Amino acid sequence: MPTVKLFANLRKVAGTKELPAAGTTLEEVLSELRKRNPPLVDAILEDGTLRPHVVITINGQITIDLNASVMEQDVVAIFPPIAGGASPPSFRRMNGWMV
Amino acid sequence: MAGWSEKVLDIDLSTQTYKTYPLDMEMARLYIGGRGLGARLLWDMVGPDVDPLAPENVLIFTNGPLTGTGYQTSNRFSVTTKSPLTGTILDANSGGFWGMQFKKTGHDVMIIRGRAQKPVWIEIKNDEIKFHDASELWGMRVFALTEKLGQNNNKRNVLCIGPAGENLSRIAAIMNDRERALARGGPGAVMGSKNLKAIVVEGKERPGIVDKDQFKFLLYEARKSLAQSPLTSQALPEFGTVVLMNIMNNVGALATRNHQQTQFEGAEAISGEELTDNYLVKNAACWACPISCTRITRTEKVEGEGPEFESTWAFGAQCGIADLPAIIEANSLCNDLGLDTISTGSTIACAMELSEKGYMDSDLRFGLADRLAPVIEALAYRRDIGADLADGSLRLATKYGHPELSMSSKGLEMPAYDPRGMQGQGLLYATSNRGGCHMRGNMVGPEVLGAPKLIDRFQVQGKSSFVILHQDTAAAIDSLVLCKFTNYGVAEEYFARVLSAVTGIKYSTGDMIKVGERVWNLERLYNLREGFTSKDDTLPPRLLSEAPTDGPSKGWVVQLEPMLKEYYRGRGWDEHGVPTSRKLNELELNNLV
């Protein structure tokens, strides 16, 4: 079963640093989490999509695709909005640039 | 004109005299203040014939037209000089209270020239400038000295050097308000070379504001935006910058053991979560800052500000140390001795690798937390092994025949983000005018945090356009001078509007970014005049040829060459990295060359 690791204030919401969650896609994993802890997934998703600045990695690779495949031994890490270093230029200036 | 005080204070320590004269307001319009104004003034004052530690080098302290107005984070100030560590142009800026107080003395700029025959400290009360004998203060550490000279956050503020600056360590910082630092590139050594121990400021003048109603409206709007942003209202206050530790480790971009690995098995033990749970006493804030990201921490031995992410990384992952109390105490010790934590930690890590590989005879080894404090002490006083470490990692590694083991660019130790997992960050380090630095722009936002939007961190093509935008924006914010964290919640459109409201000069967002581009190009011209070439726009060989063997960045090295070619084109520079006359004309820099 995939392992979900939580960081920053998500740990307080979940009451744990990590937990197993069944699923073959990221969406299924989050659905499984929602059954057990709705506030946790509310802190991650908004209207079925990732909240702004929430970062999810699968085995260290960043993904924004909720349909991304998740395998049995995978580690899904979920970070709430965090910041540091020098800030980026605002969205409006970067929007429209190459992605 | 409102915003600026329109006054320069010019101090000659050799004669212990001073003069004041009007600020060139055309220069102020083009460069605003802070880093930009400092760069323009240094261009005229310090040429390639000047050794950074000679009396002919200068320290230029600058604030900006927003400083002291009460706009969010309008507390910052800059120092500009020629770096004794890198030989490049150097500016460093700092928060706290001193910058606001300096502005209240009625000066935009303070130039420090020459060298005092004996140690002195300077006291500035509005127009009154006094030189005091500092013979009895020489040797004092920062915390005790700051208290002795009467630090009072809203009334009287102390800026000083510690023993590291006195002993001309090329990684010495200038400290203000006890634990704030003008840290990078060794400005503390320049101050030490001038026999200047401290500058204390007290002022009563209030900066003028042309359109007070608009200013109040923008203040309200910015406060609302900062309160609404999850980054500035929750992430930074709740966990501070150290919260980056786990995510950088998770994605395989946390430089570890002198960049030999990109993940640290002890990251969780030195994370922001661990710091918050077990060592945080309370939050604190710089003057006029609603974000309050400062962390007051306590161990059995020390209590004070920090450590920030970079400092925690430098003594932690970079040295292979997972002992958070030892890291907090190392950070505090550096503040008290007046040292740059990033360069200190990374230089110790370099010595650890040199020693482990048998190139250097010392007992330093990765993971030895109990060696941190003694080595830092030795470094600040140039004692024993510290004599080798006091001038940074490049000089250390060169002495022992392996300069490639210095994790620096242009001689400045790089911070925590391993660019093998963030290609844009590699280009940013390589092209940074003051050397390997994350405050001249930082690609962690778009490449990892998805702020303002996520881009592929391993992508090479097209990355230079993002780097250029980040660099120019950072240079503009550094010239205002504001804290870059506000930009997580407030668009730079607001900065242009508030600058217009305060000064009465109409600045569009494009005008402001153009100032940033002008500053970046001027700094580039300065470095070219010093003899730097495109060959210096590079990274340690390890990052260009040694790919991580495991983790999320496995198999990646920095693809610098194609990014650099694209960067030069994007900058409007020729293939050798020299700004073209067309670009210089566009930026009104053509009269300088």
Q: What gap in Å lies between CA B497 and CA B222, rounded to an integer?
A: 11
Provide Rg for chain A, Cα atoms: 14
3-state SS assignment for residue A57 = strand
Residue B90 pLDDT grade (very low, low, confident, very high; cuts 50, 70, 90): very high
Domain count, chain A: 1
Across the interface, of A62, A80, A99, the residue whose CB is closest to B453 is: A99
For A93, which DSSP code?
Answer: H
Q: What gap in Å lies between CA B324 and CA B102, rounded to an integer?
A: 35
Residue B269 makes CB contacts below 8 A (sequence gap 6+) with B322, B323, B324
What is the four-CA torsion angle of B242, B158, B184, B190, rounded to 10 degrees? -160
Residue whose C-alpha is closest to residue B475's, from B46, B93, B103: B93
Average pLDDT over every residue of B147-159: 96
Please answer yes or no on whether B487 and A61 come within 8 Å at the CB atom.
no
Residue B369 makes CB contacts below 8 A (sequence gap 6+) with B321, B323, B326, B327
**Which chain B residue's Cα is nearest to A43?**
B230
- B146 close to A (CB below 8 A): no
Position B146, amino acid: T
Residue B352 in this model has a pLDDT that exceeds 90: yes
**Which chain A residue's Cα is nearest to B268?**
A7
Q: What is the DSSP string of B309-364?
A: HHHHHHHTGGGT---HHHHHHHHHHHHHHTB-HHHHHHHHHHHHHHHHTTSS-S--
Residue B45 pLDDT grade (very low, low, confident, very high; cuts 50, 70, 90): very high
Residue A85 in this model has a pLDDT that exceeds 70: no
Strands (E), B44-179: 59-62, 77-82, 89-94, 109-113, 120-125, 128-133, 157-160, 174-176
Q: What gap in Å lies between CA B303 and CA B60, rounded to an integer?
A: 32
Place of tokens 């409206």: B217
3-state SS assignment for residue B425 = helix
The pLDDT of residue B231? 86
Instruction: Give pLDDT tens digits for B534-571.
Output: 999 999 999 999 999 999 999 999 999 999 999 999 99
Residue B347 in this model has a pLDDT that exceeds 90: yes
d(CA B462, nearest CA chain A) in Å: 7
d(CA A28, nearest CA chain B) in Å: 22
For B230, which DSSP code?
Answer: H
Task: For an interface test with B, give the residue of A6, A59, A87, A98 to mutate (most B CBs within 10 A).
Answer: A87
Residue whose C-alpha is closest to residue A84's, from B316, B166, B535, B439: B439
The pLDDT of residue B492? 81
- Helix or strand run (H / E) with residue B283: strand B280-284
Question: What number of other Cβ atoms are within 10 A of residue B213's Cβ?
Answer: 9
Q: Are A17 and A5 in contact (CB under 8 A)?
A: yes
Instruction: Give pLDDT tens digits for B421-471.
Output: 999 999 999 999 999 999 999 999 999 998 888 999 999 999 999 999 999
Neighboring chain A residues of B513 at a CB cutoff of 8 Å: 93
Task: Give the residue ranges of DSSP H helices in A1-99.
Answer: 9-14, 26-36, 38-42, 91-94
Across the interface, of B240, B308, B487, the residue whose CB is closest to A90 is: B487
Q: Which CATH number fits domain B419-592: 1.10.357.10, 1.10.599.10, 3.30.1020.10, 3.40.50.170?
A: 1.10.599.10
The pLDDT of residue A87? 65
Q: Are B246 and B268 in contact (CB under 8 A)?
A: yes
Number of A to B CB contacts under 8 A, please give it.
Answer: 158
Q: What gap in Å lies between CA B456 and CA B435, rounded to an integer?
A: 25
The residue segments making up the domain with residue A18 are 3-94
Distance in angstroms between the alpha carbons of the first and the last residue of chain A: 33
Q: What gap in Å lies between CA B126 and CA B107, rounded to an integer?
A: 8
Residue B46 in this model has a pLDDT that exceeds 80: yes
Residues of A with CB under 8 A from a CB of B: 5, 7-9, 11, 51-55, 57, 59-62, 64, 77, 79-95, 97-99
pTM over 0.80: yes
Residue A91 in this model has a pLDDT that exceeds 70: no
- B485 close to A (CB below 8 A): yes
Instruction: Give pLDDT tens digits for A61-82.
Output: 999 999 999 999 999 999 999 8
Average pLDDT over every residue of B10-21: 98
Task: For an interface test with A, give the residue of B232, B488, B494, B509 to mutate (most A CBs within 10 A).
Answer: B488
Please answer yes or no on whether B309 and A98 come within 8 Å at the CB atom.
no
The pLDDT of residue B279? 98
Per-residue 3-state assignment (H helix, E strand, C coil) for B445-508: HHHHHCCCCCCCCCCCCCHHHHHHHHHHHHHHHHHHCCCHHHHHCCCHHHHHHHHHHHHCCCCC
**Which chain A residue's Cα is nearest to B239?**
A8
**Domain spans in chain B, listed from the N-terminal domain onward:** 7-202, 248-401, 419-592
Across the interface, of A7, A81, A93, the residue whose CB is closest to B469 is: A93
The pLDDT of residue A58? 98
Instruction: Give pLDDT tens digits for B388-430.
Output: 999 999 999 999 999 999 999 999 999 999 999 999 999 999 9
Neighboring chain A residues of B491 at a CB cutoff of 8 Å: 90-93
Average pLDDT over every residue of B200-211: 96
Task: For an interface test with B, give the residue of A82, A92, A93 to mutate (most B CBs within 10 A).
Answer: A82
Q: Is residue A63 part of a domain?
A: yes
Place of tokens 């020629």: B82
CA B394, chain centre distance (Å): 19
Q: Are B445 and A91 in contact (CB under 8 A)?
A: no
The pLDDT of residue A86? 63
**Which chain A residue's Cα is nearest to B473?**
A89
Structure tokens at B530: 């010093």
Average pLDDT over every residue of B133-159: 97
Across the interface, of A9, A77, A92, the residue whose CB is closest to B491 is: A92
**Looking at the DSSP assignment, which residues form a beta bridge with residue B129?**
B124
Q: Is residue A99 part of a domain?
A: no
Q: Are B111 and B41 in contact (CB under 8 A)?
A: yes
d(CA B438, nearest CA chain A) in Å: 7
Provide Rg for chain B, Cα atoms: 22
3-state SS assignment for residue B154 = coil
Structure tokens at A98: 């190459």
Please answer yes or no on whether A8 and B455 come within 8 Å at the CB atom.
no
- Cα within 13 Å of Cα(B306), Cβ side: 24
- The domain that holds A58 is classified in CATH as 3.10.20.30
CA A47, chain centre distance (Å): 14
For B160, which DSSP code?
Answer: E
Q: What gap in Å lies between CA B133 and CA B124, rounded to an integer?
A: 15
The pLDDT of residue B436? 97
Place of tokens 């004998």: B133
d(CA B150, nearest CA chain A) in Å: 32
Across the interface, of A8, A86, A87, the residue whose CB is closest to B239 is: A8
**Hey, which residues 402-421 in chain B have their CB within 8 Å of chain A?**
415, 417
Structure tokens at B516: 């940033």
Across the interface, of B230, B446, B457, the residue whose CB is closest to A88 is: B446
d(CA A14, nearest CA chain B) in Å: 14
Residue B303 has phi, psi (to 5 degrees) of -140, 130
Long-range contacts of A32-41 (CB under 8 A, 24+ apart): A33/A4, A37/A13, A39/A13, A40/A6, A40/A10, A40/A13, A40/A14
Q: Which fold has domain B7-202?
A: Aldehyde Ferredoxin Oxidoreductase;  A, domain 1 (3.60.9)
ipTM confidence: 0.94
Please answer yes or no on whether A90 and B491 come within 8 Å at the CB atom.
yes
Structure tokens at B406: 């210095």
Q: Which fold has domain B248-401?
A: 1.10.569
**Hey, which residues 492-551 in chain B have their CB within 8 Å of chain A?**
492-493, 509, 513, 551
Average pLDDT over every residue of B171-194: 98
Residue A98 pLDDT grade (very low, low, confident, very high; cuts 50, 70, 90): very low
Residue B238 makes CB contacts below 8 A (sequence gap 6+) with A8, A9, B276
**Hey, which residues 61-100 in chain B have their CB within 8 Å of chain A?**
none
Neighboring chain A residues of B232 at a CB cutoff of 8 Å: 83
